[in-house]
Amino acid sequence: MNQLSFNIINPQAAGIDVGSRTHLVAIDQNKDNVREFGVYTKDHQDLISHLHQHGVTTIAMESTGSYWQTLFNALQQAGFDVLLVGGNQTKNVKGRKTDVIDCIWIQKLH
């Protein structure tokens, strides 16, 4: 099993892999800590609360289709510094590529 390990540049950063039905959120490099949230307003509020509870200030999220736009706006309105990452930046991850690995990788890019 491949182990992802990166130097932590911003310990208050999170990564989000945006999907049409769910969003996966990484707050650290531990795959067991990745949380899945739905795509509706209540889900966004739960996701934002989760990020606040962990002291997150910066979020990098994959700009997949148009699915990212509503979440992006909600995160900005909640006071987060939100960065968009193109899907092409996660395509070259070595090893088995999964959504969980994507959100951890996205987090470490920024």
CB 80 within 8 Å of CB 51: yes
Query: What integer pLDDT is reported at residue 38 of this predicted model?
Result: 96
- Global pTM? 0.75
Separation of alpha carbons 71 and 18, rounded Å: 9
For helices 41-53 and 68-77, angle between their N-to-C axes, nearest 10 degrees: 50
Separation of alpha carbons 37 and 23, rounded Å: 5
Separation of alpha carbons 88 and 32, rounded Å: 25
> Which domains are seen in the chain, by residue range?
13-109 (3.30.420.10)
Q: Which residue stretches of the chain have pLDDT < 50?
A: 1-2, 94-96
